[in-house]
Amino acid sequence: MIRASNMTLARGARILMERANFDIPPGARVGFVGRNGTGKSSLFAALSGELATDAGDLIVPPTWVRASVAQHMPQSQDSALNYALAGDELLRALRIRWEHAQEHGDGMELAHLASDLDHAGHWDADARCAQLLRGLGFADSDLSRSVDEFSGGWRMRLALARTLMSRSDLLLLDEPTNHLDLDTVLWLEAWLKRYSGTLLVISHDRDFLDSICTHTLYLDGTTAQLYTGGFSAFARQRAAHVEQARREAAQVDAQRAHLQKFIDRFKAKASKARQAQSRVKALEKLSAAPIPSVESEVHWTMPAPAKLPDPILSLDAAAAGYGARRVISDVNLFLAPGDRLGLLGRNGAGKSTLMKLLAGVLEAQAGERRAPRDLSIGYFAQSQVEELPSDVTPLVLLREKEPSFSDQAARNYLGGFGYGGDLATTAIGPRSGGEKARLALALLLARRPNLLLLDEPTNHLDMAARAALVEALADFTGAVVMVSHDRSLLESVCDRFVRVYQGAVGEYTGDLDDYAKLLRGEGSVAAVAPAEPQAKPVEHKDRRGLSNQLKRAEEALDRASATESAAQSALDRAASHGGSHAELAHLADALKAASAAREKAEAEWLAVAERAEKA
């Protein structure tokens, strides 16, 4: 068991948690949640033995072997297979001893080692490691490549694989999904559920936490409290806790007011002096349980597109790749205002290639990419976060990129993305990954694009920022194409999905639960359209010829879908930030009504569309 007893943890002069008490049972899978800056990573460092507590005790059983993913980028000339396999330190040591014994002809040592190697799983270790690497997205041809040949994201996967190969009793994973695609996240969930040790994980991915966690440790910047269940169960329990604390505080305030009224009335009367004095002492002792802190809400401003062409962009039998290598072929895609498209598929399948084709970064090798004159693209990729200049302030950078902003307008805009006050005029350099991601998104949205291409936009963003992004996208009148491993984000934003698989781009008609089953081999391929993924879009002039009734039905459906998405975001945000029971019930009713309205609008649109097709 891991036990924190009156533990105080600080970074410099700043107290992260004070007199915290919690017990983590062996075999538990615990998600660490809380705002950025509340001490999650510092607590991880204390648990891994890298940081001492400032007071109290944090006890990890001394016999436990701890494992965590190295935060630095791995560098090695070893093959991917050998690098990952080295995570099993016991097996590695035995193999080194075996080689040494063979060199010296030590038959006795070899006899002893044969038994030890057998118990250590020597004979199938390479196969087990190869299977693990395949699960993390590596092809068989990658296993013999050196670590240094891979890009940064793939090297971090190798670091994760090395950690998962270790014989650990305590596994600490800090944002393990950040460099993974959705397919690999689903595989990792299944692997972690089979892990027999104690798992501690920091993540802002609520679906990931719900899937794997048996407990949730909530850090509020003052202390830490352990809840039973995954993130959703924690959110419900904490909402009830906040409501109870508010009721208790209200009762104490009422009692204080009553005592103070008596004191003020009778403190000058000699006959009542003793009673008044007793009331003063009672007032001094009176206290209530503090109300759990609630994370400040974040609201992002989504500037309306300067112009909104219809259609926004289309691909007609398009193909794309690099040099002579073709990655995707025969792609038919049509994007209109209000479209919300999610791309599914493993890393390397061609999602980024499709995004680059849509963005115009790659030219079509065949077919046609049709872009109107007023097309304005906002393309978010992780490289933009890494390429932000470190010596420039957010205010200067925004004014340089968007001169139309006045100084005050720029400050107001940046404030909505968490860069208010002095943060707007402080150099970007020392900011965290999440802060830089928020700034990159702010700069992109300030250009007022009508097509957003978002490639893993939530990496490093906390839950409040993710909820703000969902809410902002609900108000966006342009089209959105998104790649993300965050299922909650995909489900909240996207109304249709496309799967990129084996060079084809096919419409996926199932939901994300169906997709998870498909990857596990349980689903039907019927949910995936064949190689001709979408019917060729009708020409724009034909769309213009549809009846006014169809257009009104489409607009009504768009409005209903946006309302439902906003209602879902509001409920998620309230649950995450400790909304009261009454507030949560009200928001749940609002979501139910919005969903019913969307279903009705969808049925009406389908009926009108069928009549229009027959016309």
User: What share of the chain in percent tops pLDDT 70?
Assistant: 86
- Residue 268's SS3 state is coil
The pLDDT value recorded for residue 545 is: 44
410 contacts: CB under 8 Å, gap ≥ 6: 395, 398, 399, 402, 424
Residue 508 and residue 500: Cα distance in Å, rounded? 9
Per-residue pLDDT of 27-46, as tens digits, reads 999 999 987 778 888 899 89
The pLDDT value recorded for residue 274 is: 57
Which has more pLDDT, 85 or 597? 85
SS (H, E, C) 437-467: HHHHHHHHHCCCCCEEEEECCCCCCCHHHHH
**Cβ pair 518, 525 in contact under 8 A:** yes
- Which residues share a beta bridge with 17? 9
What is the average pLDDT value for the chain, to the nearest integer?
Answer: 82
- Residue 3's SS3 state is strand
Residue 60 and residue 65: Cα distance in Å, rounded? 10
The pLDDT value recorded for residue 421 is: 86
490 contacts: CB under 8 Å, gap ≥ 6: 182, 342, 482, 484, 497, 512
The pLDDT value recorded for residue 126 is: 87
Residue 292 and residue 428: Cα distance in Å, rounded? 32
Residue 376 and residue 445: Cα distance in Å, rounded? 11
The pLDDT value recorded for residue 315 is: 94
Residue 261 and residue 345: Cα distance in Å, rounded? 68
Phi, psi torsion values for 61, nearest 5 degrees: -50, 125
Q: Is 231 exposed, middle or buried (0-12, 13-18, 19+ CB in 10 A)?
A: buried
Q: HSE on the CB side for 582, CA within 13 Å?
A: 4
In this prediction, residue 530 has a pLDDT band, given cuts at 50, 70 and 90, of very low
**Cβ pair 121, 128 in contact under 8 A:** yes
Per-residue pLDDT of 136-189, as tens digits, reads 989 889 999 999 998 888 899 999 999 999 989 999 999 999 888 899 999 999
Both tokens assigned to 31: 């998600």
**DSSP secondary structure letters along 178-226:** TT--HHHHHHHHHHHHH--SEEEEE-S-HHHHHHH-SEEEEE-SS-EEE
The pLDDT value recorded for residue 280 is: 65
Q: Which range has highest mean pLDDT (54-58, 88-92, 387-391, 489-493)?
A: 54-58
Instruction: Name the percent of the chain in helix, strand, coil, to the closest 5.
Output: 50, 20, 35
Residue with the two structure tokens 């975001």? 569
Both tokens assigned to 598: 């969307």
Per-residue pLDDT of 364-378, as tens digits, reads 999 999 999 999 999
| Helices (H) then strands (E): counts for the chain | 21, 18
- CA dihedral defined by 155, 156, 162, 166, rounded to 10 degrees? 170
Instruction: Kindly state the average pLDDT of the residues 382-403.
Output: 85
Instruction: Kindly state the average pLDDT of the residues 554-583.
Output: 73
Which has more pLDDT, 453 or 596? 453
What is the amino acid identity at position 350? G
Closest residue by Cα to residue 446 from 388, 385, 380, 492:
380
Res. 541: pLDDT tops 60 = no
Per-residue pLDDT of 494-510, as tens digits, reads 888 999 998 899 888 88
User: CA angle, corner 368, sides to 363 and 373, nearest 5?
Assistant: 80
The pLDDT value recorded for residue 531 is: 37
Specify the pairing of strand 313-322 against strand 366-370. Answer: antiparallel
The pLDDT value recorded for residue 275 is: 57
